Amino acid sequence: MNTTSKNITDGKAKKEQLIECVPNFSEGRSMNIIKQITDSIESVEGVTLINVDPGKATNRTVVTFAGSPENVCEAAFRAVKKASELIDMSKHHGEHPRFGATDVLPLIPIANITMDETVEHARNLAKRIGDELYIPVYCYEAAAFTSQRKNLADCRSGEYEGLKEKLSNPEWKPDFGHAEFLPKTGAIAVGARNFLIAYNVNLNTTSVRKANAVAFDLREKGRPKRETSSPTSKKIIDENGNEIWIPGILKSVKAIGWFIEEYGIAQISMNLTDIDLTPMHVAFDKACECAAQRGLRVTGSELVGVVPLKAMLDAGKYFLKKQKRSTGISDDEIIKIAVKSLGLNELYQFDCKKKIIEYILAEKENKKLLTDLNLTEFSNETASESPAPGGGSIAACMGALGAALGTMVANLSAHKAGWDERWEEFSDWAERGKTFMDALLKKVDEDTGAFNKIMDAFALPKKTDAEKQIRKQKIQEATRYAIEVPLSVMQLCYDSMQVIKAMAESGNPNSISDAGVGALAARSGILGAFLNVKINASGLDDKTFVNEIFAKAQKIADDACALEKEILDTIEKKLT
């Protein structure tokens, strides 16, 4: 086996799942206790502590951390365990409602994970807390088993002081753990909910009343119905004596108007509690419409706290589509459009590295990536006597450049004068091409991880028979992994050739030579990756698996060569 090959991946191009956890602990005054709890969170590898916000008046600390679902759940369990050891609820006093040492613990899907999957993780975590720590656990929001327990306020009703009586009521038997009052620990609510964005829209007024009028237009709750349009006129009451409300425009939005002394302006302060139903860009545009109807102008907006990358990309793409421009451009450019369109720089500079969750995590991990090198540095690193990067990385790089050229032709076609009616068609092709390019760029760096994994396996001890067996198994696992990586590179390169083919046939005729170079690069990436499949397969004992992989790889290579010829023939005819 060639141990200088560095081709490790899952072979499925599956994106990493990311969730956030925002537990609230009933301690906001003792930094020693808070530090011990956050230390327990940071003891889990792969989890990033994003923020710690203690409050003395509430005697409560809100902690935010993120990572893969498995790592986050492990960190959350350790934090709950540590809090149960350090916090004594029988002595706790604070202004905020609470009923446990770890009062609430929501899991929030951030990237590449559904709410249903997040609910499953939340319920498994709740069960573990109940089973191992014996704490009464109530599941709320999306993780609730019954509608009665969906609302956090209902789960926490009676608070700590009423918990003993509540636990004796069969209707409030905990979902997990024992229905037994623990004076020191109390109970905990574990849930799954959508990401909440605290979002303020700036107005060209100092009037709180005017800002409130717009806020009431927007918020889901709306405003009370009155006899006339005057805000001071009598409210209309139904036959049961209840106020009748006129619902607002936006679902899952809470809003109020206020004046910010620091900036000297009024704002519409919104909580977007379900950004799938009402994303940030929709809230902004509707605020602009409602403000204009009342003689006001929106001058910008402010994002409080952090936001998932997807929310910013969705906003940028929304505004690009309004301009009838391609959305198949770099994430940096899409985010720039979002920031400009939403006016996020009006009050202070919007820093993506401090505001976007995925960028915060990447910054804190501080990984040195090959793809972060400039072209000269990457070439020099390849040419050095270091075994990384090698042929596998270069094959992925060639494939990424081929996909990039296909994407470029699609973007040029979407922006071509006289082709305005076709912008959406080419934008879709550009997005597909960008997806393949991004995936192949990640494969460049996975090579180094593969090499390290193989080296780690060979470095395992081999003094005893048991150690030899474990070492052999780990080598075989790493080798199998190293075969799957270049195979996935081959498939991604081939898929990208569909974009290149479409651009050669119907894209901007001034750029068909670029599509041709893209086809050459993609095919070279496929054949280069195939060489890595072959050399890594020589070290695998499972020959049945090897034969299956060879058959798949050979078909991709044959199909790619045929497709390359078809693309180049099309281009040659157009060039002559």
Q: From the CB of residue 503, how many other CB atoms can be counted at a distance below 10 Å?
A: 31
CATH number at residue 120: 3.30.990.10
CATH number at residue 435: 1.20.120.680
Question: Residue 371: inside a domain, yes or no?
Answer: yes
Query: What are 383-416's pLDDT values in tens digits?
Result: 998 877 889 999 999 999 999 999 999 999 999 9
92 given a catalytic annotation: no
149, pLDDT greater than 70: yes
Query: What are 325-351's pLDDT values in tens digits?
Result: 999 999 999 999 999 999 999 999 999
| Confidence at residue 14, expressed as pLDDT on a 0 to 100 scale | 56
| Confidence at residue 58, expressed as pLDDT on a 0 to 100 scale | 84
Specify whether the CB–CB gap between 195 and 310 falls below 8 A: no
| Confidence at residue 230, expressed as pLDDT on a 0 to 100 scale | 76
Which two three-digit tokens encode residue 331? 């994430």
Q: What percent of the chain has pLDDT over 70?
A: 98
**Are residues 532 and 549 located together in one domain of the fold?**
yes
Query: What are 530-552's pLDDT values in tens digits?
Result: 999 999 898 889 999 999 999 99
User: Dihedral of the CA atoms 557, 563, 564, 568 (nearest 10)?
Assistant: 170
Q: How many residues does the chain have?
A: 576
Specify whether the CB–CB gap between 139 and 145 falls below 8 A: yes
More confident residue, 531 or 13: 531
| Confidence at residue 224, expressed as pLDDT on a 0 to 100 scale | 87
| Confidence at residue 337, expressed as pLDDT on a 0 to 100 scale | 98
Q: Which of 96, 274, 331, 415 is catalytic?
A: 96
| Confidence at residue 233, expressed as pLDDT on a 0 to 100 scale | 81
CATH number at residue 246: 3.30.70.670
Which of 4-18, 52-66, 465-479, 548-562 is least confident?
4-18
1, pLDDT greater than 50: no
**Are residues 113 and 228 located together in one domain of the fold?**
no
> Of 192, 213, 248, which closes a domain?
192
178 given a catalytic annotation: no
Bridging pattern class, strands 188-192 and 102-111: parallel
Which of 84-88, 138-142, 151-155, 319-323 is least confident?
151-155
**Are residues 523 and 422 located together in one domain of the fold?**
yes
The string of DSSP letters for 525-560 reads HHHHHHHHHHHHHTT-S-HHHHHHHHHHHHHHHHHH
| Confidence at residue 95, expressed as pLDDT on a 0 to 100 scale | 78
The Cα–Cα gap between 465 and 479 comes to 21
The Cα–Cα gap between 300 and 340 comes to 9
Of all helices (H) and strands (E), which one includes residue 256?
strand 253-260
Q: Which amino acid is at 326?
A: S
User: Dihedral of the CA atoms 220, 226, 229, 234 (nearest 10)?
Assistant: -140
Of all helices (H) and strands (E), which one includes residue 479?
helix 465-506
| Confidence at residue 13, expressed as pLDDT on a 0 to 100 scale | 45
The Cα–Cα gap between 9 and 410 comes to 29
Burial class (CB within 10 angstroms; exposed 0-12, middle 13-18, buried 19+) of 404: buried
- Which residue range forms the structural domain that includes residue 204? 197-306+309-336
What's the chain's average pLDDT? Answer: 92
Which two three-digit tokens encode residue 486? 């270049």
> Of 146, 165, 192, which closes a domain?
192
**Are residues 141 and 163 located together in one domain of the fold?**
yes
**Are residues 517 and 567 located together in one domain of the fold?**
yes
The 10 Å CB-count burial string (b at 16+, else e) for 161-184 is eebeebbeeeebebbbbeeebbee
**CA angle, residues 24, 128, 71, in degrees to nearest 5:** 65
Question: Residue 528: inside a domain, yes or no?
Answer: yes
10, pLDDT greater than 50: no
N-to-C CA span, the chain: 48
Q: How confident is the model over 248-259, as a mean pLDDT?
A: 94
| Confidence at residue 455, expressed as pLDDT on a 0 to 100 scale | 82
Please, which pLDDT band fits residue 498 given cuts at 50, 70 and 90?
A: very high
| Confidence at residue 385, expressed as pLDDT on a 0 to 100 scale | 87
**Are residues 332 and 375 located together in one domain of the fold?**
no
Q: Which of 314, 445, 447, 514 is catalytic?
A: 447
Q: What percent of the chain has pLDDT over 90?
A: 81
- Mapping DSSP onto H, E and C, the string for 359-380 reads HHHHHHHCCCCHHHCCHHHHHH
